[in-house]
A and B are shown apart, each in its own frame.
Chain A
Amino acid sequence: MLANRIARPESGALGSAPLGKNRVWHNVFGYGALLIVAAALMLPLYWMVSTAVKSPAQMFEIPPAWIPNPVDFSSFPKVFQEVPFGRFLVNTIIIVALNIVGHLVSVTLIAYGFARLRFPGRSVLFLIMLSTLMIPYHVTLVPRFILFSKLGWINTYLPLTVPAFTGSAFLIFLVRQYMMSIPFDLDEAAYIDGASRFGVFWRIILPLSRPALMLVIVFTFVGTWNDFLQPLIYLNDPNMFTVSLGLSFFQGARETNWNLLMAGSLLATIPPLILFFIAQRQLIGGISIEGLKG
């Protein structure tokens, strides 16, 4: 409807009119600068790809060989031969999936409570929750380890997944801010129609919070996928290791197998990239909405 009300420009008003000289130069410099920045940002990625497909001899060349010749793909199967990389991928996917489910359940419910329900001590509780963001993770490392050890959870996936079902202060804050931007009129209308509080959450707030939920999924995915410290601390059995931990096997104190490290890293970036391409519309929408309304 809105689109219909916007006057369409006369045919050719923009498309066929010759661009002014200033505008041309503006575009040239603008796109040129963007290309340079994009190239600079892509450089590490390019180096990763090129190292992954270089032969060992090429890797050590002085000056460095920018373009691999010949292109050698043998590092990719070697990654799977040297470490159980497929198993690492499956392990990581399981942990990521459970964390996403855990965060979606816990974060949305807690955020809903803080955003839409009124109860005594709400602000204080919210402040306490926010203040936990300021505690460095490493401070709680040993107490958490002791806790999980007493529960008999060491060398299981429980320490890596169960905490997700108890929420995440940052994500709760994010979703709560989004939920607060949804008009309360909708809740009231639903209550008048006989909806329960959970009904309002489930039928009104949750569907309208999709961009924020997508952010929760992406942040959880990336954070869990890249997590090195927690799997290192809580897992003993190499067969249970994750991708980020497994990749470090190629990096010794004295020696680093650069071909395999780069090939493995390249493989490890594929799932997050796929997620980004699938979710990018929602993700950009979510970020812009958070930026405007947060």
Chain B
Amino acid sequence: MSKRLLVVTLVLALLIPLLAVSAQDQPVVTVTWWATERGRDTAATRDMHFTLARTFEESHPNIRVALSMYPSRAFATRVLTAIAAGEGPDVFYHYFSPDIALQGFLEDLTPYIEASGAAANWFPSGVNRGVYDGHTYAVPRDAVSGFIAYNKDLFDAAGLPYPEDGWTIADYRALANQLTDRDNDTYGVGAIVGGEGCMLWSPFSFNLGGELTSPDGRDVVGYMDSPETVAAMTWCLELVTEDQVTAPVELQDQFGELVFLSGKVAMQSISDWELAAISEQATFNWGVVAPPRFNEESEVIPWTDSYMYYLWNGSDHKEAAWELINWLTGPEAQRIAAEAGVWSPNGPAIWEELGWDEDPIRGVSYNQLVNSERVPNYLRSQYFWDCVAGPLSDVRVRWIEGGERDVATMMAEGAAQAQACLDDNYGE
């Protein structure tokens, strides 16, 4: 017995250094990771990305990360040019639609995800966001939801109670009217709501009951011109011209934090992405509340979104690239990003660990995220912005500037135009 033990010990003693040597001899591979700046806290964002890369390298000594950061403005051009030339990044994140997989340069991540079981850690809508045609081509970098920020000072001055969870779009409209005082340049509603933005980028797009495209993003006829969507769009446009409760259009920026920060807007549809700017720069008291539901009988439908990580299928180091993606979407990297204030975590565990689920501001978003599985249909099509957004915007222009009021006809014309463009792009 003791002889056997001695032999085993000797063999192990010989093997362990050999294994260690062979591990050291594994070639070091370099994975390229391309990321974008976010427009604010530029240095902090850049430092956080490099912290992520270096932290990953410490725990993965055989993988080196070559990180490049670009302006988000032209990131797609940079990535697509490099991919077309066969020099694409192994890993990149962006705001692509999942059906960009049709173009054939995204790696199908389904087997990697199934093997790792990582999806169980992410918010369900983030998982669904990367699925196209039953396959997962992208995984969530972060997670945000849409909610309503409100100016407490304006509510107090008007003697109105703050909005609470469970309110309806009728309550929202009534409050917007009560809080508007155009003589003093004070408005009930800010950017996004009151135009085509009402149907995009905000929880109103769901809670008004309309849809712009089919679930696969390829059809607009029957969706954009449906009676429900026509009614929803009419509701949005009436806020501008009939109720006149929206801030002047020239003061509206796309995502709304600027006009809300003026202190002259009572309610503004925002998401976690705008929270940092509002937290730092608001000169008034403010709060947030879940979006209004359609009516007393309906449930509120959360609107969520996220940036996604992609793996280029031309990568020479797919396993190493997946290692990086898996780590970046895992708890350690998510905690680093959240603590740096750069983006909010892609799964509930870190939110809870940081106490955000109990936070009066973040908690509202957390409740939306854990209760949402739905991905906005309009985010399903890579051609949405080229084909559908324009005709939808035309409806607003015709209503506001042209004085036309037949929304059903305008939406039907827009849908036909958008459908022709989609069919052309999808080769149908």
List the interface of chain A (C-beta within 8 A of B). 56-57, 59-64, 81-83, 141-142, 145-146, 149, 154, 228-229, 232-233, 236-238, 245, 248-258, 260
Contact = CB atoms under 8 A, between A and B. Distances in A.
14 contacts: A57-B283, A60-B258, A82-B42, A141-B81, A229-B74, A232-B70, A233-B78, A245-B71, A252-B40, A254-B39, A254-B255, A254-B273, A255-B277, A258-B258
A255 B40 contact: yes
Given A149-B86, A238-B69, 17 more contacts: A56-B281, A57-B261, A59-B258, A60-B261, A62-B247, A145-B84, A232-B70, A233-B77, A245-B71, A250-B39, A251-B39, A251-B72, A252-B37, A252-B38, A252-B72, A253-B72, A256-B40
A256 B69 contact: no
Contacts of A255: 38-40, 255, 257, 273-274, 276-277
Nearest to B73: A248
A83 B73 CA distance: 16
B36 A252 contact: yes
B68 A233 contact: no
A232 B74 contact: yes
B264 interface: yes
B82 interface: yes
Interface of B: 36-43, 46, 66, 68-74, 77-78, 81-82, 84-87, 95, 185, 247-248, 251, 255, 257-259, 261-265, 273-274, 276-277, 281, 283
Contacts of B46: 238
A59 B38 CA distance: 19
Contacts of A237: 68
A63 B187 CA distance: 12
B89 to A, nearest CB: 9
In the complex, the 3 A-B pairs of residues with the closest C-beta atoms, listed nearest first: A252-B39, A248-B71, A60-B261
Nearest to B74: A232
Interface of A is mostly: helix
Nearest to B273: A254
Contacts of A232: 70-71, 74, 77-78
Contacts of B273: 254-255
A100 to B, nearest CB: 25
A145 B85 contact: yes
Contacts of B265: 62
A258 B253 CA distance: 12
Contacts of A258: 258
A257 B41 CA distance: 9
A248 B39 CA distance: 8
B58 to A, nearest CB: 22
